[in-house]
């Protein structure tokens, strides 16, 4: 009889080795979960990036992946329940019916990425070249725009405003971009929802 036949749920099988697993935390609980797991002698990777110009009372760093941290554990040995019942942790992330696993080279790539200069928008989102953005200052707020690049450590950035150049003789309008320089906190990253099929099961 195949596993799970006869109305019985298939058991969750774990690879008996150390792996990097993805953990989903409550909002603003990444540091709390990290500290709790480290107190249990579990290696944790909590990637953060520096904020160029933190607002008064705000932290000088922010999570690179809000609500996510990585734990290097042997789930077969530790047990899923012992990992899940940590204050501030919502759950271990699964892909399908198996706990999500990241390879060491993927973790190293993230470590390298967070060493690069980052630009953080007015809402705390990390901006990268080509990201669609909203501008929070008139008269630019009505334009569609994309983020181009960081210009200075003080927070000056360049965005490209998108507009249609109307043409004579009934020809189709052509998309044009014009650069604008302003402060990063006057830029906000647009959230583009991903199709449901692309969302990992958390």
**What CATH number does residue 103 fall under?**
3.30.70.940
Domain membership flag for residue 88: yes
**Is the alpha carbon torsion for 51, 56, 58, 60 positive or negative?**
positive
pLDDT of residue 45: 97
Closest CA to 103 of 196, 19, 201, 161: 19
pLDDT of residue 6: 45
Q: Is the predicted pLDDT of residue 100 greater than 70, yes or no?
A: yes
Output 82 or 112, whichever has higher pLDDT.
112
170 belongs to a structural domain: yes
32: in domain: yes
Domain count across the chain: 2
Q: What is the CATH number of the domain that holds 175?
A: 2.30.30
pTM metric for this prediction: 0.60
Which of the two residues, 182 and 4, has the higher pLDDT score? 182
Indicate whether 197 belongs to any domain: no
User: What is the pLDDT of the chain when averaged over all its residues?
Assistant: 78
- What is the C-alpha separation between 5 and 119, in angstroms, rounded? 52
Q: Are residues 13 and 44 in the same domain?
A: yes
Identify whether 86 is part of a domain: yes
For residues 22-44, give the mean pLDDT: 95
pLDDT digits (tens, 9 = 90+) for 107-141: 999 998 888 766 666 666 677 778 888 888 777 77
> What value, to the nearest 5°, has the Cα angle with vertex 108 and ends 60 and 28?
35
**90 pLDDT tier (thresholds 50, 70, 90):** very high
């Amino acid at each position: 009889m195949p596993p799970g036949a006869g109305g019985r749920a298939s058991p969750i099988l774990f690879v008996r080795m150390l792996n990097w697993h993805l953990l989903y935390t409550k909002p603003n609980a990444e540091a709390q979960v990290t500290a709790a797991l480290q107190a249990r002698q579990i290696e944790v990777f909590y990637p953060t990036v520096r904020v160029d110009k933190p607002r008064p009372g705000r932290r000088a760093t922010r999570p690179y992946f809000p609500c996510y941290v990585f734990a290097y554990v042997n789930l077969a040995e530790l047990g899923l329940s012992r990992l899940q019942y940590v204050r501030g942790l919502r759950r271990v992330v699964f892909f399908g019916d198996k706990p999500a696993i990241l390879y060491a080279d993927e973790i190293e790539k993230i470590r390298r990425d967070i060493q690069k200069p980052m630009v953080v928008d007015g809402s705390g989102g990390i901006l990268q070249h080509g990201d669609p953005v909203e501008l929070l200052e008139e008269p630019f707020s009505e334009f569609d725009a994309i983020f181009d690049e960081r210009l200075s450590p003080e927070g000056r950035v360049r965005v490209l405003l998108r507009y249609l150049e109307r043409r004579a003789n009934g020809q189709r309008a052509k998309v044009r971009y014009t650069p604008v320089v302003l402060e990063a906190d006057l830029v906000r990253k647009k959230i583009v929802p991903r199709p449901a099929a692309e969302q990992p099961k958390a």
